[in-house]
């Protein structure tokens, strides 16, 4: 399988994040992509650089003022005080219920809070470059499918499925799966399905397509009653307006077994089949692995072969986009197992 790998991912390398109130080293690090690259290269997958510019597609996915902020955020931060170049900015205020979000504050702290859902998307000097490179990879993979290829993998970071139309969060800045879906539609597809198998609900992806019927969004994830992102991902969220019936959430209790997870996958695949999709985008979160430090499902490495083989039976041109997965030692093996399971099915 052809894999798109933007080397600029390493430009996004925050030193720390805040996890459960503690300052810790970032779980989402450049090492994740490098270990996946090492494993898929060893197994003979072809690696190539992105060859498409996602700028026009990003304008279909994200609000213009959000894109303008994100592209210039670091420069704005350093302009306040040159010594900020050695500090990471974090939001400290958010426009929650009854507060206005239609006006963009002139104060940087106000803007950062306006465009953030949490403190979980730390910015550094190279964040925009890395995030744009990931979106370019998603556009490139979709373009390959539109030209006749059956599958491609985006070995990308930072991930994207928590990024909504006008906000970042959960390590995500630009929604790569949404970019891939828009690129497939632009390339001739009429009905696209996005399947999110990350442990954490892809709230950003749901928000982007919630009112649309041309993109079906299906997600299997930890129950938001107890799991991040908490405020979206419930089973009663089925779409709105033209999108009614085109959003399916399959939340599972923390600690759910592999068999429970694959039972949910069977439901997801049945819904994708009924959508009569002509292309599939897989938000490939690998934090469903039993050893993941910030998730609580029970899949083991061999289960990822089964995941790949199951998706192959949908018989759809498929773009795989790397999302979460923080058990770094096993991440490469688990990613490669999905791709090999898909190809060998």
For 83, the token pair is 């010594």
Number of Cα atoms under 13 Å in the Cβ half of residue 170: 27
d(CA 154, CA 6): 9
Nearest of 16, 18, 50, 233 to residue 131 by alpha carbon? 50
Helix axis angle for 176-186 and 127-146, nearest 10°, is: 30
Distance CA(279)–CA(189), nearest Å, equals 7
Residue environment code for 179-209, b if the CB has 16+ CB neighbours within 10 A, otherwise e: bbbbbbbeeebebbbbbbbbbbbbbbbbbbb
- How far is residue 46 CA from its own chain's centroid? 22
Structural contact between residues 290 and 298, judged by C-beta atoms closer than 8 angstroms? yes
161 flagged as catalytic: no
Structure tokens at 56: 């026009």
Tokens of 344: 């060998």
Catalytic residue selected from 12, 162, 200, 221: 162
Q: Which residue has the tokens 């597609």?
A: 57
Rounded to whole angstroms, how far apart are CA atoms 316 and 313?
A: 8
Which amino acids are annotated catalytic?
Answer: 162
């Amino acid at each position: 399988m052809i894999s798109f790998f933007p080397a600029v991912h390493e430009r996004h390398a925050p030193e720390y994040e805040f996890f459960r109130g503690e300052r810790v080293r970032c779980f989402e690090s450049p090492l994740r992509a490098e270990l996946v690259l090492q494993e898929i290269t060893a197994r003979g997958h072809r690696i190539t650089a992105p060859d498409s510019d996602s700028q026009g597609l990003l304008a279909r996915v994200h609000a213009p003022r959000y894109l303008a902020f994100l592209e210039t955020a670091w420069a704005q931060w350093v302009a306040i005080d040159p010594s900020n170049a050695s500090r990471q900015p974090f939001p400290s205020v958010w426009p929650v219920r009854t507060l206005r979000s239609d006006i963009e504050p002139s104060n940087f702290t106000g803007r950062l809070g306006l465009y953030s859902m949490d403190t979980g998307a730390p910015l550094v000097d190279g964040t925009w470059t890395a995030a744009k490179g990931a979106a370019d990879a998603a556009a490139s993979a979709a373009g390959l499918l539109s030209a006749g290829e059956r599958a491609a993998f985006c070995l990308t970071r930072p991930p994207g499925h928590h990024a909504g139309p006008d906000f970042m969060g959960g390590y995500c800045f630009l929604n790569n799966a949404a970019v891939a879906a828009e690129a497939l539609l632009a390339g001739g597809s009429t009905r696209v399905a996005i399947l999110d198998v990350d442990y954490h609900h892809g709230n950003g992806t749901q928000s982007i397509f919630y009112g649309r019927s041309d993109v079906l969004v299906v997600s299997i994830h930890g129950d938001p009653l107890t799991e991040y992102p908490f405020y979206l991902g419930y089973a009663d969220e089925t779409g709105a307006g033209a999108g009614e019936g085109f959003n399916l959430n399959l939340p599972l209790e923390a600690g759910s077994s592999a068999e429970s997870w694959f039972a949910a996958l069977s439901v997801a695949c049945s819904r994708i089949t009924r959508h009569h999709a002509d292309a599939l985008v897989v938000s490939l979160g690998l934090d469903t692995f039993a050893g993941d430090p910030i998730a609580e499902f029970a899949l083991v490495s061999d289960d990822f072969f089964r995941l790949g083989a199951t998706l192959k039976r949908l018989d759809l041109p498929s773009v795989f986009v790397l999302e979460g997965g923080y058990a770094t030692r096993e991440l490469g093996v688990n990613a490669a197992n999905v791709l090999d399971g898909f190809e060998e099915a």
